[in-house]
Amino acid sequence: MKALQKSRPEPGLWQIEAPVPEISPDEVLIRVRKTGICGTDIHIWNWDDWAARTVPVPLITGHEFAGEIVALGRNVTGLEVGQRCSGEGHLIGHDSRQSRAGKFHLDPETRGIGVNEPGAFAEYLALPAFNVVPLPDAIDDEIGAILDPLGNAVHTALSFDLVGEDVLITGAGPIGIMAAAVARHVGARHVVITDVNPARLDLATQVADVVPVNVAQEDLAAVKSRLRMREGFDVGLEMSGNQTALDQMVENLVMGGRIALLGIPPGKSPVDWSRIVFKAITIKGVYGREIFETWYKMIAMLENGLNVRPVITHRFAAQDFARGFEVMASGQSGKVVLDWG
């Protein structure tokens, strides 16, 4: 089969011919149809310090996918050959305290397909049946291929009650933009999204009814008064990984405001803790998606009018993956989807 592999510990990905993976009794074999390129895949392409520390070489990469089940391991029940599916790319253990409490997304031994284990940038993927999420007809393969990052957005956005609340999202990357659409869908009042990249803010306005703010040019305090917000934002969703954005968020939150942090800062970054204390702010770190609560909720929302399709700005055939990575790395795109035929 064709696959994209990190073959050498250096920048790039290489298309290879690999054997179709064998499945164990608890796994299914999936014929991959569409895959999404993630920021994580860009880190792996660039072979930065994180990637060099984390990713074994050689490895077939990629973790955002949709496809069709073509074979079932002998222990698998409840799934069928021919069924369309996506799936959770975090492979969890079942022995930890959190796993045994049913909080699978908090298992400390999580391993990621396409990061630690063979991934989805391939014609075929072997996945534990446990991780498979069947897709209803209403969700086509390209939306199925972006459920992983949509899940990050949904998990973060649903961390706190947003109904009637003023929400600040820092970072209009694909995940920040999808979080804005979710915040709108569940009934937030004002949804303000910040970035320093005009193309990204433009895209945000095409996907959701948001107030875009270029923080390189406009001050958030001015935006608050323009929107007649008396005190500040009720909830902040940090989706840039940028220190300045977090500082601005804390500055512009109400007393007792709540922050969900998804963005990953590059290293240790200073935080003015006294401001957090005196404003009585609650901060929640968010990792991945809730397995499988987030999946149920996002599929239900997609079946009931949540539309994130405009966040997909580019589509390429899998063999043109290098173009796809170039577009994704340029910062001028939303989601980029590869077609595996």
Tokens 């014609």 sit on residue: 123
> Closest CB to Zn ion belongs to which residue?
38
Q: Smaller CB distance to Zn ion: residue 120 or 301?
A: 120
Q: List the one residue from 69, 286, 291, 318 that touches ligand NAD (CB under 6 A).
A: 286
Residue 78: count of CB within 10 angstroms of its CB: 8
Bridge partners, 248 (sequence order): none
Q: Smaller CB distance to ligand NAD: residue 70 or 264?
A: 264
Q: How far, CA to CA in Å, does 112 sit from each of 47, 78, 255, 273? A: 17, 24, 38, 33
Q: Could you say whether residue 181 binds ligand NAD (CB under 6 A)?
A: no
Q: Is 43 a catalytic residue?
A: yes
Q: Could you say whether residue 194 binds ligand NAD (CB under 6 A)?
A: yes
Q: List the one residue from 36, 62, 232, 263 that touches ligand NAD (CB under 6 A).
A: 263
Contacts of 255 (CB under 8 A, 6+ apart): 231, 279, 280
- Paired tokens of 179: 């979080």
**Contact (CB, 8 A) for 281 and 257:** yes
Q: Could you say whether residue 310 binds ligand NAD (CB under 6 A)?
A: no
Q: Could you say whether residue 311 binds ligand NAD (CB under 6 A)?
A: no
Q: Could you say whether residue 264 binds ligand NAD (CB under 6 A)?
A: yes
Q: How far, CA to CA in Å, does 36 sit from each of 45, 176, 308? A: 14, 16, 14
Q: Smaller CB distance to Zn ion: residue 121 or 160?
A: 121
Q: Could you say whether residue 148 binds Zn ion (CB under 5 A)?
A: yes
Q: List the one residue from 171, 232, 236, 257 that touches ligand NAD (CB under 6 A).
A: 171
Q: Which is it for the CA torsion 85, 91, 95, 101, positive or negative?
A: negative
Beta-strand pair 191-195/167-170: parallel
Residues 28-47 within binding reach of Zn ion (CB under 5 A): 38
Catalytic residue IDs: 40, 43
Where do contacts with ligand NAD occur on this chain (CB under 6 A)? 39, 152, 170-176, 194-197, 200, 215, 239-242, 244-245, 262-264, 286-288
For Zn ion, the binding residues (CB under 5 A) are: 38, 64, 148-149
